[in-house]
Amino acid sequence: MDYFLTEEQQMIVDITRQITDEKIIPNRAELDEKHQFPREILNDMARADLFGLLIPEEYGGFGGNCFDSVLALEQLGRGCIGVGTAFAASSLGIYPILISGSEELKKKYLPPVATGEKFAAFGLTEANAGSDASGIQTTAVLDGDEWVLNGTKQWITNGGEAQVYTVVAITDRSKGARGASMFVVEEGDPGFSCGPKEKKMGIRASSTTELIFKDCRIPKDRIIGRQGTGFITVMKTLDSSRPGIAALGVGLAQGALDEAASYAKQRVQFGKPIIAFQAVQHMLADMAIGVESARALVYQSAKHIVAHPKDMSKASSMCKIYATDVAMKVATDAVQVLGGYGFMSEYPVEKMMRDAKILQIYEGTNQIQRNVVGQELNKEYAK
């Protein structure tokens, strides 16, 4: 369908589609098999100025918005969620600085991320703090002119590959949610290290590690925003980034539909291509309806967030839920259309099915997102 993109928006789509078709798709199977971080592809994306999409022009970026990011991530998701996640995680990592960072932090950290010279990562999740972010145990204590961090973050995307990390830590446990703050930690800071790469079911091209802080000392001006505002920044960050995860889901679903339809036209059974059978046609039709519906919701949600940045929680959660659930279903149905071949690694749909699962889990499980939507509805209908 025609979404009446502007010339600049179409340029974003064209650039990311070209990188996806020429760089990602030919290499995705090898990256997945070797659990290899796609540094060369990310460098190609940096040369195309894609890392600066969300960063204002005064800090060396493109000055784009949520919708621009969605357009790029959809194309990357069509190729490989692992590569798309590595790219998206860098944006996630700099969102706290964009949202709450001082001018000094923005000038220092945004330009090198905008050029792709440095990658970023976001450190929130811990062993006992997943859906319940208030369970964070990592602490930060002010000691003279330095903050001292202690604790461990778990399942951090771009861990070990990023140079800039935005990290949530407790600065005053007696204040509950108001006792968390955010900090910038750099690769090489004393007392900071990353664990080994996790072995994962999917998105194997992305790096996932622990972040380990043992008396990690950082300058006191590396705090993001005011002390005690960490959870506010976290919530705004995730509300801003979830449409990107939804867009990865749309892209993956489109890629799975493309593979299924192409195979169904070529696979001959009982003397004719299986796409001629109504049972297969209905499967493909439902897949196509799901993809286009998800795309429409994601695009509209992103546009709503751009127009109404103070009212984005419900739209952000709704599009994340729907698009990632669609991605899981379409990928599963694509495997079914391909039958035994769909179960083999020489065809990409089994990888898509493995990759799709994480979309329903990270950056807030879809069950938690339904809570968010329900709570927002409760507020609306209570008026």
Q: What confidence score (pLDDT) does residue 130 get?
A: 83
Q: What confidence score (pLDDT) does residue 132 get?
A: 84
Stretches where the chain sits below pLDDT 50 are none
Contacts of 372 (CB under 8 A, 6+ apart): 313, 314, 317, 364
Cα(21)–Cα(230) distance, rounded to whole angstroms?
Answer: 39
Q: Tell me which DSSP letter residue 196 carries.
A: P
- Whether 1 maps to a domain, the answer reads no
| CATH number of the domain that residue 290 is part of | 1.20.140.10
Beta-bridge partner residues of 192: 213
> Hey, what are 49's tokens?
């100025």
Of 136, 228, 151, 155, the closest CA to residue 185 belongs to 151
Q: What confidence score (pLDDT) does residue 176 get?
A: 86
Cα(226)–Cα(238) distance, rounded to whole angstroms?
Answer: 19
- Length of the chain in terms of residues written: 383
Q: Which of 350, 363, 376, 380 is catalytic?
A: 363
Q: Show which of 114, 143, 177 is a domain's final residue.
A: 114
> Hey, what are 242's tokens?
């979830």
377/260 same-domain check: yes
- Whether 57 maps to a domain, the answer reads yes
Q: What confidence score (pLDDT) does residue 275 get?
A: 98
246/372 same-domain check: yes
206/237 same-domain check: no
Q: What is the pTM of this model?
A: 0.97
Catalytic annotation present for 58: no
30/138 same-domain check: no
283/207 same-domain check: no
242/215 same-domain check: no
Domain of 165, in residue numbers: 120-229
Q: What confidence score (pLDDT) does residue 131 get?
A: 82
